Chain A
Amino acid sequence: MRRRAIAAAAAFALPVLTGCGAADMTKQSSPYADAHGARTVTLSVQSWVGAQANAAVAQYLLKHELGYRVDTVQIDEVPAWDALSQGRVDAILEDWGHPEQEQRYVADKKTIAPGGELGVTGHIGWFVPKYFADAEPDVTDWKNLDKYAGLLRTAESGGKGQLLDGSPSYVTNDKALVRNLDLDYQVVFSGSEAAQITQIKQFAKEKKPFLTYWYKPQWLFEQVPMTEVKLPAYKEGCDADPEKVACAYPHTPLRKFLNARFADGGGRAAEFLKKFHWTTEAQNEVALMIADRKLSPEEAAERWVRKNESTWRAWLPD
């Protein structure tokens, strides 16, 4: 009897604690938001440095020009959509194209609103270092790749050539590509971009040939010049079935997305983020400062902001 009473009390305690009725967890913001009386914007930062550069500059301006407190959370691309729809983050500044998520959250549920383009165009591809391409010019065509498989063998790739892939979170068709193009290569996932960059740098230092999945814009090109390997040309819809892909990656205009409620009620911060628009070169400049010169993102952003006032003035809300 008493036990039942306790169980009943426990069952009631939860709703009482959180207010009666339904509790929609898809509409809960981060517990760290809006502390200290300051309005807080939570930005999702993906793991690559370009995205950090976006966030750093946005954060700097939101903080110093508009008086917001900014939290950044690192979330992988796909879960970030989910978090964005729940309002646990307010904005994603750089999305590389997730049609399935866009359909679900923007078109169907309307919990996420498009925030316009970032101004940067992204492109994924297979790359070899320039010193390698200079020495063996025909490596830049996928048809000749098998010729060099032996040269690109590593401990991790077994008997085949190594195609170095990056973080599991990135958009990649490489396994299918290798299979469908019937290449003598093994895709080796480095598990994170950090690991991949470390590896590329080490290869470059020793001038060893390598083949890697990589993307533009990326600051690493400044340090390790790389040449893209031509894959069968991209045609609209050729990557529709991920199992049968046998063509290159498209050029994607990168886009911003905002939580729908934030887009409407986010005031000046939301307006600013919608207007945020810069160039590949600008992003690279900041990214290089962060990743290569090891400045803190805030410091890097500060330096860029000081030099480029005319650019960012236009982003501020009227």
Chain B
Amino acid sequence: MSTTATPAAEAGAPLTGGVARHRTALIGGAALVALLLGTVLLGGGGWPAHFAVDLSGPMGDTSDWITDNRDSHPLFLYFFGHISNVVVLSVRAVYLVLLAIGWAGVTAAAGLVAGCLAGLRPALTAVSAFALCGLLGMWVPTMQTLALMVVAVAASVLLGAVLGLAAGLSGRVHRALRPVLDTMQVLPAFAYLLPVVLVFGIGVPAAVLATVVYAAPPMARLTALGLRGADAGVMEAAASLGATGRQRLLTARLPLARKELLLGVNQSIMMALSMAVIASVIGAGGLGDRVYQALASVDVGAALAAGVPVVLLAVVLDRVTGAAGERIGAAPARGTGLGWAVAAAGTVAVALVGRCTDRLSWPDAWTVDIAGPVNSAVDWMTAHLYSGIPVVGGTADWAARFTTWVLDPLRDGLQWLPWWAVLLLVGVVAQLIGSWRTALTAVLAMAAIGVLGVWDPALDTLSQVLAAVAVTLLAGVAIGVVAARSPRLERVLRPVLDVFQTMPQFVYLIPVVALFGVGRAPATAAAVVYALPAVVRITAQGMRAVDPVAMESSRSLGATGWQQLRQVQLPLARPALLLAVNQGVVLVLAVVIIGGLVGGGALGYEVVFGLAQGDLATGLVAGAAIVCLGLMLDRVTQPVGRESRDA
């Protein structure tokens, strides 16, 4: 696109627009023909029963076989058993160390490590965060979660690095691994739980492994990205000096990819933390379990007391790894060895003082009960906001209206559509946004849902996702556009977005139940809140990245602000907007599924049901359907040239 002047831009527009229109017309025509053919040949109705496969029998048998053989079959005794053992031993080891250092030692260590890695401010954040965890009376659960996290993150980073290394060095491995990693990235965390539970049973090993499976892909992706993206000039220089393959890897390729590697660690930590909470459903214990227990008794205050430390851990780890990443390549680290020595000595000293004064456990007297006040506040809110407010109505009324006027028609409409029409629709939309390949994958994934025999619940979930995505995009793009234009608003918004983005998905469920009651409306509301920050951020970035020359030239031609937005900014930010849609869809799906815990029903409920009843057949089928749905939604919203996702 020309950047010189609007006339040039306009000269270009009819050309590309013409092609696009042509393409649209073509696809539309083909769709129409298919629609007519379908009506004549296939008739209407939901997914035909004879195309569906009932997997509950074989899956139930498998599940029974595993439960019966877990203590006797060699596969479990000599393989899974050892894995489980290693996990338990390592988590235990870390946990014992944390307890042995005592609260003062852990807090000091956190501060000193953060200081060495990232500087003074992150160090202060770390110290106050850990102190706050203690103040909230959550010290022991925090340590349990931390122990689990340390092991899970270490394993994820290791596994991810190994996979990424293979993919980074071998083109063939990369081609094989990439679609798998791409797919895993769009899967809701919930879908990972069941297979792991099936093998390992409820408990910490299952939780750790589910977390590893969830958190390793970003590390692998970024490692591969970093290794493949190594500056070719530097690599050639190393080769020209006669470096062996190993020397090239160790002295050039890996160090060059340090930024990506660190970003991978950061991403792994964030994913692991959000999973550590969700994994409480399968017995992870720790903070997540406290949130889960509080959720069960509608104790918003207690849930918050357990949720806040999770958020604090997330913020601290994010800040420290982020700041460490930014430090790379800057001034040479001077006296790092000394810094680490001081950190180690300081920790030992504080821990010893703690030991000698017998102050290892967080003193009970030093806790603050926030549950009471929070609950009164929530009670007040539900009492005053929930319903009966004149004119606007209460939140419950909104929820009911949203359910009646948006969710119901959408769900009924989708379920009313003949199954082939749904497939056609999916294919056409995917084709319009992406390519033939994405369309094919999307249609196949959707068809797989029908074959699994969960067509109706999947469409129910889909309707919730669509409604939530629509709301998210309306709100997110609007906020994003405004934020891109007003630096002041952006400054205010930024920390809020940061915090929202690091919060585990689970935490969103508590307040929405209080405000919107039970049902699909709160599930969609939680999804909107969770996905909004990413959409706002991507939109704002995209709008700001619009070529200033194009903006200036349009201004010089006397365009009004609205004209600029409509004619220059939005068209030029199209890739960013599409990315926002894609991310929004993926994030919304993740929470809509978890919404099964607050009455969202559909696939999410079936997974919860499968876990709760030990009816893994139901749960696994629903899990597989979620995988397909996620794949479909991702591909449908996949703009051509997915490289932008890597950025």
Decide: B204 and A30 in contact? CB cutoff 8 A. yes
Stretch of B71-79, B226-234, B267-275, B321-329 on the interface side: B71-79
Q: Say which residue of A15, A75, A109, A169 sits within 8 Å of B202 (CB atoms).
A: A75
Answer whether residue B184 sits at the interface, using C-beta atoms and an 8 A cutoff: no
Between A and B, 6 residue pairs with Cβ closer than 8 Å are A22-B77, A32-B95, A32-B147, A71-B285, A81-B614, A88-B201
Identity of the chain A residue whose Cβ is nearest the Cβ of B302 in the assembled complex? A296
The answer, among B84, B408, B597, for a CB contact under 8 Å with A191, is B597
CB atoms of B293 and A47 under 8 A apart: yes
* Contact assessment for A167 and B612 in the assembled complex, using a CB-CB cutoff below 8 Å: yes
- Find out whether the CB atom of B296 lies under 8 angstroms from the CB atom of A32: no
Bound: A48/B69 CA distance, A: 32
CB 8 Å contact bits of A24-46 with B (1 = contact, 0 = none):
11111111100110000000010
Q: Which residues of A contact B202 (CB under 8 A)?
A: 75, 79-80, 82-83, 88
CB-contact partner of B613 in A25, A86, A104, A168, under 8 A: A168
Q: Are A52 and B293 in contact (CB under 8 A)?
A: yes
Asked if A144 is at the interface of the complex by the 8 Å CB criterion, the answer is: no
Chain A residues with Cβ below 8 Å from B88 are 28-31
B203→A191 contact, CB < 8 A: no
When the two chains form the complex, which single residue of B204, B297, B609 contacts A49, counting CB atoms closer than 8 Å? B297
Output the least CB separation between A257 and chain B (Å): 15
Find out whether the CB atom of B71 lies under 8 angstroms from the CB atom of A27.
Answer: yes
Q: Among A81, A109, A202, point to the contact of B396 (Cβ < 8 A).
A: A202
- Asked if A65 lies at the interface with its beta carbon under 8 angstroms from chain B, I say no
Chain B residues near A48: list those with CB within 8 A: 296
When each residue 372-395 of chain B gets 1 if its CB lies under 8 Å from chain A and 0 otherwise, what string results? Answer: 100100000000001100000000
Closest Cβ of chain A to B60, distance in Å, is 12
- A23-B77, A77-B612 known; A31+B91 contact, CB < 8 A: yes
Contact residues of A with B, CB < 8 Å?
14-15, 17-19, 22-32, 35-36, 45, 47-49, 52, 71-83, 86, 88, 104, 109, 154-156, 158, 167-169, 188-199, 202, 206, 290-291, 294, 296
Q: Which residues of B contact A199 (CB under 8 A)?
A: 517-518, 599
Chain A positions within 8 Å of B203 at CB level: 28, 30, 83, 86, 88
Contact B293 A45 (CB under 8 A): yes
Q: A31-B147, A190-B518 are in contact. Are A86 and B285 (CB under 8 A)?
A: no
Q: B282 to chain A: which residues have CB within 8 Å?
A: 79
- A169–B613 contact, CB under 8 A? yes
Contact A26 B201 (CB under 8 A): yes
Complex Cα distance, B605 from A250, in Å, reads 26
Q: How would you classify the secondary structure of chain B's contact residues: helix, strand, loop or mixed?
A: helix
Number of A-B contacts (CB under 8 A): 219
- Interface: B178 (CB within 8 A): no
> Are B293's CB and A74's CB within 8 A?
yes
Task: Given contacts A17-B86, A18-B86, A74-B292, list 5 more A-B pairs with CB under 8 A.
Answer: A36-B99, A83-B201, A169-B612, A189-B599, A189-B605
Instruction: Specify which chain B residues have a CB less than 8 angstroms from the CB of A109 in the assembled complex.
Output: 71
Total number of B residues with any Cβ neighbor in A under 8 Å: 81
**Chain B hits for A190, CB < 8 A:** 518-519, 598-599
Do the beta carbons of A76 and B84 come within 8 Å of each other?
A: no
B355 within 8 A of A: no
Beta-carbon contact of B612 and A79 below 8 Å: yes
Give the Cβ gap from B357 to chain A, nearest Cβ, in Å. Answer: 16
* B577 smallest CB distance to A (angstroms): 32
A296 contacts B371, C-beta separation under 8 Å = yes
Return chain B residues, CB-CB under 8 Å to A104: 67-68
Known A25-B81, A31-B147, A35-B99; judge A75-B283 contact (CB<8 A). Answer: yes
Please, which residues of chain A bring their CB within 8 A of the CB of B400? Answer: 154-155
- Among B78, B285, B408, max chain A CB count under 10 A is at B285
Query: In the complex the two chains form, is B517's CB within 8 Å of A18's CB?
Result: no
| Contact B513–A198 (Cβ < 8 Å) | yes
* Residues in B neighbouring A206, C-beta threshold 8 A: 387
User: Given the complex, which residues of A lie within 8 Å of B293, measured CB to CB?
Assistant: 45, 47, 52, 72, 74
With A25-B200, A88-B201, A194-B513 as contacts: A156 and B520 at CB distance below 8 Å: yes
Q: Is B466 an interface residue (CB 8 A)?
A: no
- Nearest residue (CB) in B for A16 is B82
In the complex, whether B83 has a CB less than 8 A from a CB of chain A is: yes
B374 to chain A minimum Cβ distance, whole angstroms, is: 10
Question: Which residues of A are found within 8 Å of B298, using beta-carbon distances?
Answer: 194-195, 197-198, 291
- CB contacts under 8 Å to A, within B413-457, are none
Provide the residues of chain B in CB contact with A17, threshold 8 Å. 82, 85-86, 89
Known A86-B201, A198-B517; judge A294-B91 contact (CB<8 A). Answer: no
Decide if A83 touches B371 in the complex (CB within 8 Å).
no
Query: Which A residues are CB-close (under 8 A) to B387?
Result: 202, 206
Task: Give the distance in Å from the alpha carbon of A202 to the alpha carbon of B82 in the complex.
Answer: 50
Chain A residues within an 8 Å CB radius of B386: 202
Which residue, of B76, B408, B513, has the highest number of chain A Cβ atoms within 10 A? B513
Measured CB to CB, the nearest residue on chain A to B523 is A191
**Residues on the B chain within 8 Å of A294, using CB:** 299, 301, 371-372, 375
Q: Are B614 and A82 in contact (CB under 8 A)?
A: yes
Contact of B85 among A25, A77, A195 (CB under 8 A): A25
Closest to A171 in B: B613
The CA-CA distance from A199 to B607 in the complex, in Å, is 22
| A24: B residues at CB distance < 8 A | 71, 76-77, 81
Residue of A whose beta carbon sits closest to that of B151: A31
Give the Cβ gap from B255 to chain A, nearest Cβ, in Å: 23
With both beta carbons as reference points, the residue of chain A lying nearest to B92 in the complex is identified as A31
Contacts A32-B285, A290-B297 given; does A155 touch B404 at CB 8 Å? yes
Q: List residues of chain B with CB within 8 A of the CB of A79.
A: 197, 201-202, 282-283, 611-612, 614
Cβ contact within 8 Å between A88 and B283: yes
Asked if A23 meets B78 with Cβ closer than 8 Å, knowing A76-B612, A88-B202, A192-B296, the reply is yes
Among B79, B95, B202, B513, residue most surrounded by chain A Cβ atoms (within 10 Å): B202
Q: Which 7 residue pairs across A and B have the least CB separation, nearest first?
A: A169-B612, A23-B81, A78-B614, A31-B92, A47-B296, A168-B609, A76-B612
- In the assembled complex, the CB of A179 is this many whole angstroms from the nearest CB of chain B, namely 16
Assess the A191–B608 pair: CB atoms within 8 A: yes
Shortest Cβ distance from B303 into A: residue:
A194
- The smallest beta-carbon distance between A51 and chain B, in angstroms, is 9
Given A82-B201, A83-B201: A156 in contact with B71 (beta carbons within 8 A): no
- Residue B549 at the chain A interface, CB threshold 8 Å: no
> What residues of B have a CB within 8 angstroms of the CB of A154 in the complex?
400
Kindly state the separation between the CA atoms of A234 and B41 in the bound complex, as whole angstroms.
50
Q: Is B111 an interface residue (CB 8 A)?
A: no
> B504 an interface residue at 8 Å Cβ cutoff?
no
Cross-interface CB contact of A32 among B81, B92, B517, cutoff 8 Å: B92
Complex Cα distance, B598 from A36, in Å, reads 37
Alpha-carbon gap, A72 to B92, bound state (A): 17
A104 to B518, CA, bound (A): 36
Within 8 A of A (CB), among B76-109: 76-89, 91-92, 95-96, 99
Tell me if B217 is interfacial: C-beta within 8 Å of chain A: no
Q: Are A83 and B612 in contact (CB under 8 A)?
A: no
A26 to B289, CA, bound (A): 22
> A156 near B147 (CB under 8 angstroms)?
no
Beta-carbon contact of B67 and A192 below 8 Å: no
> Chain A residues with Cβ under 8 A from B86's Cβ?
14, 17-18
**Residues of chain B lying within 8 A (CB to CB) of residue A191:** 518, 595-601, 604-605, 608
B295 at the interface (CB under 8 A from A): yes
Known contacts A25-B201, A86-B203, A294-B301; A195/B599 CB under 8 A? yes
- Chain A positions within 8 Å of B513 at CB level: 194-195, 198
Q: Is the CB of B76 within 8 A of A25?
A: yes
